[in-house]
Amino acid sequence: MAVIIQGIGTVTALNSTNSLDTNKTLFANSRRSLSDRKGRFFMVRSDGCLSYGLNGHGGRAEKLITNAVAAKEDTAAAYTSSKPGHELLLFEALREGLEEEMDRDPTVCVMGEDVGHYGGSYKVTKGLAPKYGDLRVLDTPIAENSFTGMGIGAAMTGLRPVVEGMNMGFLLLAFNQISNNCGMLHYTSGGQFKIPIVIRGPGGVGRQLGAEHSQRLESYFQSIPGIQMVACSTPYNAKGLMKAAIRSDNPVILFEHVLLYNLKERIPDEEYVLNLEEAEMVRPGEHVTILTYSRMRYHVMQAAKTLVNKGYDPEVIDIRSLKPFDLYTIRNSVKKTHRVLIVEECMRTGGIGASLTAAITENFHDYLDAPIVCLSSQDVPTPYAGTLENWTVVQPPQIVTAVEQLCQ
């Protein structure tokens, strides 16, 4: 399987017979994209290869568990790093990432409703206010437009704020700030101001929260030029993406999911940062490429179990980066399997899946043997009733059926 490395402005596709030397130089290249990092950390490639330190000890890649389904027992690749790591829940992983960044850089601060004394409505910022003080972990009044604007102003003057929306739906009130100021200020000021802000919050369907509290704003934010969007799905990538988002000089929106906060996983003790623009190979396969993100990853993996029993070999990729899409990983997968299924929680109309379908069709049309199938949520406000709510989102049986139809 080919390994794709995103170097600085250069895209080099390696074939599977890597030479030690090529690995060294290319890893060194990719290191510079996260420049001036302190030495002791490693970058994780999408297929799980580790690359150590700045000197790059050749191509000694070790397999790391990149797929984490809480229910699934993964005995395939044993975790082999210098230390066994520690187990924690996803919201704790987010907090760990946040805390490490706040320790490392005094300009990182948090603001949002109930993040300070209350500890965060989903406990992501618990314990941070007593440790860093009320000003660095700031409780704001209930005015998303203003505290997002305040965060952007803080970013313009040199801080690195993390703005928490208690629920993604509330950020609609801050849409003006996110679109006009967050996204555009770097451009309209001719590069004078940078906005290294992270806007994060939980969204998604589950828990019967009703229509307004179950929104998926990826589709609304995706066309704002100037911002980056990432979606985390496991404790491992939650921590890595949180750290990468804070270190990035661009405004990043980090999408979390209400139902995933209690996922448990073992993550490394060492410091690690993930690449913001990279997709994650969850399960390599041969027959069909399934692209997914956030909570749908787990529905897909559940469907994958059924599919494997039926004799199919799906390749599952967690795209993670919603803007921009990691078209390199996707391209390699499409080249191999020639069939694409997109499973997402966004709405059918104008969602991430719609954009992804367009992007893949435009770029990789020649590689496709069948039209792209996109399974998304229904175009309805999320109902309160439990059964109806389940039918709004894509369920594993539907994924299985879609793959079977696609692979005929």
Catalytic residue numbers, as ranges: 144, 213
292 strand-pairing partners? 318, 343
**Selected range binding other proteins among 43-51, 161-169, 181-189, 365-373, rule: CB under 8 A:** 181-189
List 53, 84, 127, 324, residue binding other proteins (CB under 8 A)? 324
Distance (Å) of CA 39 to CA 35, 36, 106: 11, 9, 19
| Closest distance to other proteins from the beta carbon of 156 (Å) | 6
Please identify, using beta-carbon distances, which residue of 115 and 156 lies nearer to other proteins. Answer: 156
| Closest distance to other proteins from the beta carbon of 12 (Å) | 11
Query: What is the end-to-end Cα distance of the chain in Å, rounded?
Result: 24
Quick check: 353 and 376 in contact, CB under 8 A? yes
Asked if 18 is part of the footprint of other proteins (rule: CB under 8 A), the reply reads no
List 191, 366, 387, 408, residue binding other proteins (CB under 8 A)? 191
Residues with Cβ within 8 Å of residue 332, at least 6 apart in sequence: 1, 2, 4, 13
Quick check: 125 and 168 in contact, CB under 8 A? no
Long-range contacts of 139-143 (CB under 8 A, 24+ apart): 139/112, 139/113, 139/114, 139/115, 140/111, 140/112, 140/113, 141/113, 142/113, 143/173
Tokens of 175: 């849409």
| Closest distance to other proteins from the beta carbon of 9 (Å) | 4
**Selected range binding other proteins among 71-79, 90-98, 177-185, 258-266, rule: CB under 8 A:** 177-185
**Selected range binding other proteins among 66-74, 124-132, 176-184, 258-266, rule: CB under 8 A:** 176-184
Please identify, using beta-carbon distances, which residue of 9 and 39 lies nearer to other proteins. Answer: 9
Q: Contacts with other proteins in 120-159 (CB under 8 A)?
A: 140-141, 143, 145-147, 149-150, 153, 156-157
Please identify, using beta-carbon distances, which residue of 156 and 162 lies nearer to other proteins. Answer: 156
Asked if 30 is part of the footprint of other proteins (rule: CB under 8 A), the reply reads yes
Quick check: 401 and 303 in contact, CB under 8 A? no
Pairing, β 42-44 against β 272-273 = parallel
Peptide bond preceding 324 in cis form (omega within 30 of 0): yes
The H or E element spanning position 100 is helix 90-104
| Closest distance to other proteins from the beta carbon of 243 (Å) | 16
Asked if 277 is part of the footprint of other proteins (rule: CB under 8 A), the reply reads yes
Give residues in contact with other proteins (CB under 8 A): 6-9, 11, 30, 33, 140-141, 143, 145-147, 149-150, 153, 156-157, 176, 180-181, 185-194, 196, 225-226, 228, 249-250, 276-277, 324, 359, 362-363
